[in-house]
Amino acid sequence: MHLKYESQLREPLVMGEKDFHQVTEDIVRPIEAKPSKLWYIGFFIAVALLLFGIYSIYRDVTYGIGQWNLNKTIGWGWDITNFVWWVGIGHAGTLISAILLLFRQGWRTGVNRAAEAMTIFAVMCAGQFPIWHMGRVWMAFFVLPYPNTRGPLWVNFNSPLLWDVFAISTYFTVSLLFWYSGLIPDLATVRDRAFTSLRKKLYGIASFGWTGSTKHWQRHESLSLVLAGLSTPLVLSVHTIVSFDFATSVVPGWHTTIFPPYFVAGAIFSGFAMVQSLMVITRKVFGMEDYITLGHIEAMNKIIVLTGSIVGIAYLTELFMGWYSQNKYEGYTFWYSRANLFSPYGWSYWGMMACNVLSPQIFWFRKMRRNIFVTFFMSIIVNIGMWFERFVIIVTSLYRDYLPSSWSVYYSPTIWEIGFYLGTFGLFFTCFFLFAKYFPVIAVAEIKYVLKTTGEGFKNKMSKIEDQKLDEFIHDNAHAH
């Protein structure tokens, strides 16, 4: 007899009296029903944004990136800001699915599938920015090392920008494989209850002929565990390498050894905020309140207040080092270009401080952590703050160059820079709407696996055991072995 037991002190992760079939019903039903009006409205807004983005990119390719307002001093503006922002958001999914798997955090099962999907879409959006920033995008394959007739001339393996190529593409590939290999058994579940032959055919193709064989499950478990083990250092390495794009340069404000941990914490921070925004809506629209519970939301808010505070410490450390190093240029960047509210970009620094460091402190209060409205509002605030952070790092380090003749405060984005950014929102939400319509947004098999230990109905039955006297318990259970 396997005695599965989890303390009553822990909140149930699946609410209500449910059996395995009920879990399948609850999670697969939204895929089988016709989408609601709300879904169509959201989807068409997303597609409209995407089309605007495509037109902006079309103009970028036709007229060159001269249609952006970058100048000789501020050579990186919205484009790279948005790149780092999206990559950062793309960190939560793998963190939830990999690191929390290794740390045996049961609550990850409710949110991992949607968070992984979100990761993949966010990385797709991030990838657009460096690619279209190249200008001559038809030469994009030059970033790959391949034997060529130009020498052969190879790429520079000592350059952080090349490391980025490897990091982002590896991260995208591994996240995609991790996500899809986890999805195969759930797609098989959808296939086996399909009611039209087209559904049977398409989900049959997508589920690779999965049967649920014990040997296959054994290999599947081994695969997930090793992929989690590989993704854990991978997710840390990706934003570390993104931070190297800045940290290995000699620009004051970028040339900072604190960048890798600071960027990784910021990435997790913004990624979880994005997961919160999406989960709050998804659970409401699809009626998943039993699976994405207040407990899940509270757990994620705890991570938000932790990582937000780590980011806050990093900001303060930078300010301290700006003074302590007694380096004039460092001090100028940190204490004038950024921290001085009345300097040309001071507003962005203090906007960042307010959004990222001060406002998440509200989550020290349990009531606030479990409040859906506060959670949703804060998740938006955090992502605005994290966008400001990247803008601050990139623009305020550049706009006052060493020579005052190269100073520039006249950077503001053109409509096509904004359009490109809006376009990636369109891409992200188009993908997410399609995912939510055609794929199970919650990992069905994983929920079933934890159901008997953390489901409310099963926990209530277990509470009798908790009340039992120890010698009675031994008497009842010891003979079973």
Partner 1 sequence: MAKKKFVVGCFDDEAVLFPAVKKVRAAGYKIHDVYTPFAVHGLDHAMGLRETSLHTAGFIYGITGTSTALGGISWILVKDWPLNFGGKPNFSLPAWIPVTFELTVLFAAVGMVLTFCYLCQLAPFVRKHHFHPRATDDLFVMAIECTDKTNVDDLQAFLSSNGAIETNVQVAETGWWLGTYDMEEKNLEHSNTVVA
Site for partner 1 contains 244 (CB under 8 A): yes
Site for partner 1 contains 251 (CB under 8 A): no
* Candidate list 45, 47, 162, 380; residue touching partner 1; CB under 8 A: 162
Record the tokens describing residue 165, joined without a space: 């190529």
217 vs 332 by CB, closer to partner 1? 217
Site for partner 1 contains 221 (CB under 8 A): yes
Q: Is 113 left (phi over 0), alpha (psi -120 to 50) or beta?
A: alpha
* Candidate list 64, 233, 361, 472; residue touching partner 1; CB under 8 A: 233
> Of residues 334-393, which lie at the interface with partner 1 (CB under 8 A)?
none
191 vs 400 by CB, closer to partner 1? 191
**Least distance from C-beta 104 to partner 1, angstroms?**
13
- Pick the piece of the chain touching partner 1 (CB under 8 A) from 30-38, 230-238, 336-344, 463-471: 230-238
Site for partner 1 contains 437 (CB under 8 A): no
- Pick the piece of the chain touching partner 1 (CB under 8 A) from 34-42, 224-232, 354-362, 431-439: 224-232
177 vs 474 by CB, closer to partner 1? 177
Record the tokens describing residue 282, joined without a space: 């998804």
| 174 neighbors 227 (Cβ within 8 angstroms) | yes
Site for partner 1 contains 308 (CB under 8 A): no
Q: Is 176 left (phi over 0), alpha (psi -120 to 50) or beta?
A: alpha
**Least distance from C-beta 177 to partner 1, angstroms?**
5
Q: What are phi and psi of 14, to 5 degrees?
A: -125, 120
* Candidate list 54, 65, 184, 362; residue touching partner 1; CB under 8 A: 184
**Distance, CA of 27 to CA of 446 (rounded, Å):** 12
Site for partner 1 contains 192 (CB under 8 A): yes
Determine whether 197 is exposed, middle or buried from the number of CB atoms within 10 Å of its CB (0-12, 13-18, 19+).
Answer: exposed
**Least distance from C-beta 450 to partner 1, angstroms?**
9
11 vs 192 by CB, closer to partner 1? 192
CA distance to 144, 239, 461, 470, per residue, from 4 (Å): 51, 39, 12, 17
**Distance, CA of 169 to CA of 120 (rounded, Å):** 11
Site for partner 1 contains 421 (CB under 8 A): no
112 vs 424 by CB, closer to partner 1? 112
| 399 neighbors 337 (Cβ within 8 angstroms) | yes
**Least distance from C-beta 303 to partner 1, angstroms?**
24
* 3 state DSSP class of 46: helix
Site for partner 1 contains 2 (CB under 8 A): yes
**Distance, CA of 172 to CA of 177 (rounded, Å):** 9
Q: Using alpha carbons only, what angle is made at residue 236 by residues 233 and 238, rounded to the nearest 5 degrees?
A: 105
**Distance, CA of 41 to CA of 355 (rounded, Å):** 30
Site for partner 1 contains 241 (CB under 8 A): yes
Q: How many residues bind partner 1 (CB under 8 A)?
A: 71
**Residues listed for the chain:** 481
* Candidate list 1, 250, 341, 478; residue touching partner 1; CB under 8 A: 1
**Least distance from C-beta 204 to partner 1, angstroms?**
3
Record the tokens describing residue 291, joined without a space: 């699976």
- Pick the piece of the chain touching partner 1 (CB under 8 A) from 72-80, 112-120, 177-185, 271-279: 177-185
* Candidate list 17, 32, 51, 216; residue touching partner 1; CB under 8 A: 216
| 144 neighbors 165 (Cβ within 8 angstroms) | yes
209 vs 404 by CB, closer to partner 1? 209
Closest to 106 measured CA to CA, from 242, 293, 250, 281: 293
| 220 neighbors 201 (Cβ within 8 angstroms) | no
> Of residues 10-49, which lie at the interface with partner 1 (CB under 8 A)?
19-21, 24
Cα four-point dihedral sign 130, 134, 138, 139: negative
* 3 state DSSP class of 161: helix
> Of residues 193-212, which lie at the interface with partner 1 (CB under 8 A)?
193-194, 197-198, 200-201, 203-206, 208-212
**Distance, CA of 161 to CA of 245 (rounded, Å):** 6
> Of residues 442-461, which lie at the interface with partner 1 (CB under 8 A)?
445-446, 448-449
**Distance, CA of 89 to CA of 46 (rounded, Å):** 18
**Least distance from C-beta 25 to partner 1, angstroms?**
9
* Candidate list 91, 113, 220, 338; residue touching partner 1; CB under 8 A: 220
243 vs 277 by CB, closer to partner 1? 243
**Least distance from C-beta 27 to partner 1, angstroms?**
11
- Pick the piece of the chain touching partner 1 (CB under 8 A) from 42-50, 86-94, 164-172, 329-337: 164-172
453 vs 468 by CB, closer to partner 1? 453
> Of residues 120-159, which lie at the interface with partner 1 (CB under 8 A)?
145, 151-154, 156-158
**Distance, CA of 194 to CA of 215 (rounded, Å):** 25
Q: Give the single-character DSSP code of 1.
A: -
72 vs 150 by CB, closer to partner 1? 150
